[in-house]
């Protein structure tokens, strides 16, 4: 079943066309990777799916529903969550509190009931705390729960951001370069967590990444973007053999992280 369907999306910023007739599908239960050189438009596409940008043309269907003109918070409530290329944690709050904010949309204590400390509010609060601690344990950050988020090393910050995204109980999670700045061990751990998200929590994952080792190891399906266009799509094996993809990467000056092997 197609969970996410991106249909003929166009997006320009002033004179620059960032996305050109992009169409791609994400099957439910898949880990779909979105790769391509820097500037290819991957983050722009994520921003359109999550509602931060409005496309000039085209549509995005989530479980068959059109979501392109919805505000980001509405899209989040529909079941799409995400992380950001530059970590957007609540830096001045503790690790646990960051997760707890992720539970906001699933809870309902209002101003009045919170102010007067009604028993229903206290119960909900205890539940938020319990659920959040559970998530922290799942992502192996339980020992950090009272630390200030901005004090964590970058690897743990990225994991925390994923944990926060999970707290919203999404059907689909968009991860924007979660391995950026991580070493080999941290990247392996990240891979395990992403697989756990799909296998145990049954959440579909869209992963924007540059680390080819990670991408090839865990993705079910890959779409390659270059200069705002889809140039290839398929399984990891197919993509590795695709000549256009190889040209797109080898033609750039940028360094590719990890251990990507260009030999078929």
Partner 1 sequence: MKKEDFLSLLVLIFLVVLLPAISGNTYTLTVGIFSGINALVAIGLCILMGYAGQVSLGQAGFYGIGAYISSVLSLHAGFPVVISIICGMIVAAFAAVILAVPALRLKGHYLAVATLGFGEIIYIILNEWGPGGPSGFGDIPHFGFFGYAIDSTRGYFYLIWGIVAIVMFFSINLIQSRTGRALRAIHDSELACNAMGLNVAGIKIKVFILSAVYASLAGSLYAHYVTFISPSSFSLFYSILVLMMVIVGGMTNLWGAIVGAVVITVLPELLRKFEELDVLVYGLILTLSLLFFRKGLVPILIDRIKKLRGFAVAKH
Backbone angles phi, psi at 64, to 5 degrees: 85, -5
Using an 8 Å Cβ cutoff, are 44 and 19 in contact? Answer: yes
Q: With respect to partner 1, which residue has the nearer C-beta, 107 or 151?
A: 107
Q: With respect to partner 1, which residue has the nearer C-beta, 30 or 124?
A: 124
Q: With respect to partner 1, which residue has the nearer C-beta, 42 or 164?
A: 164
Q: Provide the minimum distance between the beta carbon of 75 and partner 1 in the complex, in angstroms, as a whole number.
A: 9
Give me the residues that bind partner 1 (CB under 8 A), please.
50-52, 71-73, 76-77, 81-82, 84, 88-93, 97, 100-105, 107, 109-111, 114-117, 121, 124-125, 128, 164-165, 167-168
Q: With respect to partner 1, which residue has the nearer C-beta, 151 or 261?
A: 151
Q: Provide the minimum distance between the beta carbon of 128 and partner 1 in the complex, in angstroms, as a whole number.
A: 7
Q: Provide the minimum distance between the beta carbon of 41 and partner 1 in the complex, in angstroms, as a whole number.
A: 19
- Exposure pattern of 44-68 as b/e (b: 16+ CB <10 Å)? bbbbbbbbebebeebebbbbeeebb
Going by C-alpha positions, the residue among 7, 3, 8, 11 that lies closest to residue 28 is: 3
Q: Provide the minimum distance between the beta carbon of 24 and partner 1 in the complex, in angstroms, as a whole number.
A: 21
Q: With respect to partner 1, which residue has the nearer C-beta, 65 or 116?
A: 116
Q: Provide the minimum distance between the beta carbon of 116 and partner 1 in the complex, in angstroms, as a whole number.
A: 7
């Amino acid at each position: 079943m197609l969970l996410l369907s991106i249909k003929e999306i166009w997006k320009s910023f002033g004179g620059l066309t960032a996305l050109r007739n992009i169409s791609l599908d994400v099957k439910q239960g898949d880990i779909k990777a979105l790769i391509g050189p820097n500037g290819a438009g991957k983050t722009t596409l994520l921003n359109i799916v999550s509602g931060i940008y409005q496309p000039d043309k085209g549509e995005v269907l989530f479980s068959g529903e059109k979501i392109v003109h919805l505000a980001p918070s509405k899209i989040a409530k529909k079941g799409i969550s995400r992380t950001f290329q530059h970590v957007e944690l609540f830096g001045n709050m503790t690790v646990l509190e960051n997760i707890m904010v992720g539970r906001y949309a699933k809870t309902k204590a209002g101003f009045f009931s919170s102010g007067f400390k009604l028993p229903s509010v206290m119960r909900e609060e205890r539940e938020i705390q319990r659920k959040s601690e559970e998530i922290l344990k799942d992502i192996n950050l339980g020992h950090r729960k009272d630390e200030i988020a901005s004090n964590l090393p970058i690897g743990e910050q990225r994991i925390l951001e994923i944990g926060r995204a999970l707290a919203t109980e999404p059907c689909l999670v968009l991860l924007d370069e979660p391995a950026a700045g991580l070493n080999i061990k941290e990247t392996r751990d990240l891979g395990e967590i992403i697989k756990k998200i799909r296998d145990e929590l049954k959440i579909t994952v869209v992963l924007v990444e540059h680390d080819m080792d990670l991408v090839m190891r865990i993705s079910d399906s890959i779409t390659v973007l270059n200069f705002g266009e889809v140039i290839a799509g398929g399984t990891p094996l197919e993509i590795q053999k695709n000549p256009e993809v190889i040209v797109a990467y080898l033609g750039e000056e940028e360094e590719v992280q990890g251990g990507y092997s260009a030999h078929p």
